[in-house]
Amino acid sequence: MHDREHYRQIPGIQAPWEVSDVEIDLPGTGVTVHIRHSGEGLACPECSASCPGYDTRTRK
């Protein structure tokens, strides 16, 4: 199974979200999973107007 598919299934990531990259730190114990949004279907939570994505900061 491809790493991206495997790490998509573990937390249950679904469209419009996708795993864009997986970094495995060997011999360490870290795994970094990069997730991105397709940009489609984003809406303001207050007025439901269509809006562009803007938050691209890294989180741990």
The tens place of each residue's pLDDT in the chain, 60 residues long, gives: 467 777 777 778 887 788 888 888 888 788 888 888 877 778 888 998 888 777 777 776
Q: Which residues of 30-42 are buried (b: 16+ CB within 10 A; e: fewer)?
A: eeebeeeeeeeee
Q: Whole-prediction pTM value?
A: 0.61
- CB of 19 closer than 8 Å to CB of 35: yes
Domain ranges across the chain: 1-53
Q: Token pair for residue 13?
A: 């990531």
